[in-house]
Amino acid sequence: MQKAKVIFYKGDGNIVDKTIRWWTDGPFSHCEIYIPEDEKSYSSSGMDGGCRSRKHTPNDNWEEVEIDVDIELVHQFFNETVGTEYDFLGAFGFVLPFKDRSDRWFCSEWCSNILKISGDKRMWKTEPSTLSPNDFYKLIKENDD
């Protein structure tokens, strides 16, 4: 296991960010897995159309939580999912009764799945498709190793 970070977006953002924060009653509207040695973050983003990586420069709009993760698994999972569409209906499935689509991902589902396949014990009893970015943050912080 190597050190990486889950980064949570808390910037003002747009109306979608504001709606997510209001609907999920928390400060975060998005999350990503950041690997410092890559200088990249990985996630699924509605704004970018689905699973993607991007260069990340840490700033005050992001809150970072350090994690231990198998970075090779992050790369492998990313390569398997890159380009898959964003799961807009699934993203609201933690609030509304929409069925999760296994061929699409939303941010906190994608990120928490990384922890699950890495064997993180915090994820043993949690289904990634049920976690908003705020739920995911609370799960990581409340059960910090």
Report the C-alpha gap between 83 and 114 in whole angstroms. 17
Local mean pLDDT, 10-residue blocks, the chain (145 residues)? 95 92 94 95 93 94 95 95 88 60 86 90 84 94 70
Count up the domains in the chain and report the number: 1
Half-sphere exposure of 53 (CA within 13 A, CB side): 18
Beta bridge partners of 40: 35, 55
Q: Which CATH number does the domain housing residue 41 bear? A: 3.90.1720
Task: List Cβ neighbours of 97 (8 Å cut-off, separation of 6 or more).
Answer: none
pLDDT recorded at residue 96: 56
Half-sphere exposure of 138 (CA within 13 A, CB side): 11
Token pair 């990384």 is found at 114
Output the pTM of the full model. Answer: 0.90
Of 9, 24, 46, 144, the residue nearest 95 (C-alpha): 24
pLDDT recorded at residue 125: 83
The parent domain of residue 8 ranges over 2-142
Of 80, 69, 81, 83, the residue nearest 38 (C-alpha): 69
10 Å CB burial of residue 13 (0-12, 13-18, 19+) is: middle
